[in-house]
């Protein structure tokens, strides 16, 4: 776990930063495009905003795979068996 955010926009910024960090190593040239990266982050923010989770995976140029996930958690949801992680 790398962090927790109360605001979906903050989580999307973190995701965008990670995508930008690894973009030079993405196998697909199209995935290196700044507009594409911004769209992925915006989509993640929207999905988190309605309570959805985000799971992404990308092949990198070297034999490696990048996996990033953002999981929604609502601290007031008593139906969850485990509490939300803290900051």
Residue-wise pLDDT for 16-41, tens only, equals 999 999 999 998 888 889 899 999 99
Rounded to whole angstroms, the Cα distance separating 79 from 76 reads 9
* Backbone angles phi and psi of 54, in degrees to 5: -130, 125
User: What's residue 9's pLDDT?
Assistant: 95
Q: What is the average pLDDT value for the chain, to the nearest integer?
A: 88
Rounded to the nearest angstrom, the gap between the alpha carbon of residue 59 and the centroid of all alpha carbons in its chain is: 16
pTM of the model: 0.83
What 8-state DSSP symbol labels residue 62?
T
- The pLDDT value recorded for residue 87 is 60
- 3-class DSSP state of 17: helix
Interval 42-49 mean pLDDT: 95
């Amino acid at each position: 776990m790398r962090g927790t955010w109360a605001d979906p926009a903050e989580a999307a910024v973190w995701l965008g930063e990670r995508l930008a960090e690894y973009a030079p190593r993405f196998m697909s040239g199209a995935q290196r495009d700044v507009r594409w990266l911004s769209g992925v982050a915006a989509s993640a923010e929207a999905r988190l905003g309605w309570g959805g989770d985000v799971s992404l995976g990308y092949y990198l140029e070297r034999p490696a795979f990048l996996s990033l996930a953002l999981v929604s958690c609502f601290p007031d949801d008593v139906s969850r068996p485990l509490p939300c992680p803290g900051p």
